[in-house]
A and B are shown apart, each in its own frame.
Chain A
Amino acid sequence: MARVSVTVPSSAKRGEVIEIKTLAAHVMENGFRHKQTGEPIPRDIITQFVCTYNGVEVFRAELHPAMAANPLLVFNTVATESGTLEFKWLGDNDYAATQSASISVV
């Protein structure tokens, strides 16, 4: 079932600054909530996000419990060359998700 979504332009001019939108399906349980019975609900969040462009890291983020559920990260990168953008999310309880997108730079 769908877990992450990435929106990247399929092509761009060399040197153009492009916008990348990423969304991950995740409850981001903050660890501060309690059940009706009083037991604490343990933290379960995405903690890291990395974007690499032909293997080179171009963006990284550390996420904390104050990030909303289904976390959105929108950032920019320069379209330097054609190739592959790879996206990786890591989190509590061995959560891991990856996605990749191709870009053609003219």
Chain B
Amino acid sequence: MRVALAVLCFLLLSAEIPLAERRSGYEFMGRETRAMQDDDSTNPALFWLADGEALWNRKDGAAAVACSGCHADMKGVAARYPKVASGMAVNLEQQINGCRTERQKAPPLAYESRELLALTAYVARQSRGMPIAVEWNESTRRGQATFNRRQGQLNLSCAQCHDDHWGRSLAGSTIPQAHPTGYPIYRLEWQGLGSLQRRLRNCVVGVRAESYAYGAPELVELELYLMWRARGMKIETPAVRP
């Protein structure tokens, strides 16, 4: 009976959240978890940020040049990613690896490696408090299609939970609106820092669908759409989330 009711609810058409009603995942957490994010001196992400700063300043690759050798600061950069370059959506992690391979002549860092997370966190942190501003284009539109498409054995789309049923409970947790304002996040479930792609892959497991590989265009386009959907909201990196 409960299952039938749930299915009925999910059959309702999805509608985008009105801009004024958008709320960050921060607002769906308990007071203590919010305090964990608010205090820079006790947010565990500080370790990754410190490592990121060291990596930023370290000469690397055959070119023996550090990120700081070319870049002054990264203020505002993370708020504008993912970007489209030569028709392909590129996220921050891929941009960092692009710089590594093309400028530093160094091997790319593996997705979800400590180094890549540290660098991404260090870069994104510098956009904290700034409004998200990514572009609407063909890639964003494809990301939106993924967001609205039913998938997996449970035949659910992202929109059905995050546009239609945000604020309600799923497995005892409150469904957030799914705005990627604070990535990479310190997720309590992982007890560590992780990327948006890792979190999206978790969702895909949640609906019992086969997951895209890290760096797959479908995932990056979905990231782009999610950032576009969160346009104007402030970057919170490094956020803490359940």
Answer yes or no: A and B touching, Cβ < 8 Å.
yes
Which A residues lie at the B interface, using CB under 8 A?
A: 1-3, 5, 7, 21, 23, 25, 27-28, 68-70, 72, 74
Query: Contact at A69–B192, with CB atoms within 8 Å?
Result: yes
**Cα of A70 to Cα of B42 in the assembled complex, Å:** 10
In which size bucket is the chain B interface? Answer: 10 to 19
Q: Which residues of the other chain, A, contact B44 by a CB distance below 8 angstroms?
A: 23, 25, 69-70, 72
Closest Cβ of chain A: how far from B238's Cβ, in Å? Answer: 13
Query: Contact at B191–A1, with CB atoms within 8 Å?
Result: no
Q: Which residues of the other chain, A, contact B50 by a CB distance below 8 angstroms?
A: 1-2, 5
Q: Which residues of the other chain, A, contact B51 by a CB distance below 8 angstroms?
A: 1-2
Query: Contact at A27–B191, with CB atoms within 8 Å?
Result: yes
**Cα of A93 to Cα of B227 in the assembled complex, Å:** 43
Residue of A nearest to B46 (CB): A5
Q: Which residues of the other chain, A, contact B47 by a CB distance below 8 angstroms?
A: 1-3, 5, 23, 25, 70
**Cα of A28 to Cα of B191 in the assembled complex, Å:** 10
Query: Contact at B46–A23, with CB atoms within 8 Å?
Result: yes
Which B residues lie at the A interface, using CB under 8 A?
A: 39, 41-42, 44, 46-47, 50-51, 54, 191-192
Q: Which residues of the other chain, B, contact A72 by a CB distance below 8 angstroms?
A: 42, 44
**Cα of A7 to Cα of B42 in the assembled complex, Å:** 9
**Cα of A23 to Cα of B191 in the assembled complex, Å:** 14
Closest Cβ of chain A: how far from B240's Cβ, in Å? Answer: 11
List, sorted by A's number, 15 A–B pairs whose CB atoms are closer than 8 Å: A1-B47, A1-B51, A2-B46, A2-B51, A2-B54, A7-B42, A21-B42, A23-B41, A23-B42, A25-B44, A27-B191, A69-B191, A69-B192, A70-B44, A72-B42
Residue of B nearest to A6 (CB): B41
Residue of A nearest to B47 (CB): A25
Residue of B nearest to A4 (CB): B47
Query: Contact at B191–A5, with CB atoms within 8 Å?
Result: no
Among B41, B51, B54, B192, the one with the most A-chain Cβ atoms within 10 Å of its Cβ is B41
Closest Cβ of chain B: how far from A94's Cβ, in Å? Answer: 20
Closest Cβ of chain B: how far from A46's Cβ, in Å? Answer: 14
**Cα of A3 to Cα of B192 in the assembled complex, Å:** 14
Q: Which residues of the other chain, B, contact A69 by a CB distance below 8 angstroms?
A: 44, 191-192
Among A3, A69, A70, the one with the most B-chain Cβ atoms within 10 Å of its Cβ is A70
Residue of A nearest to B43 (CB): A23
**Cα of A76 to Cα of B173 in the assembled complex, Å:** 34
Q: Which residues of the other chain, A, contact B41 by a CB distance below 8 angstroms?
A: 5, 7, 21, 23
Given A21-B42, A23-B44, A70-B44, residue A1 in contact with residue B192 (CB < 8 A): no
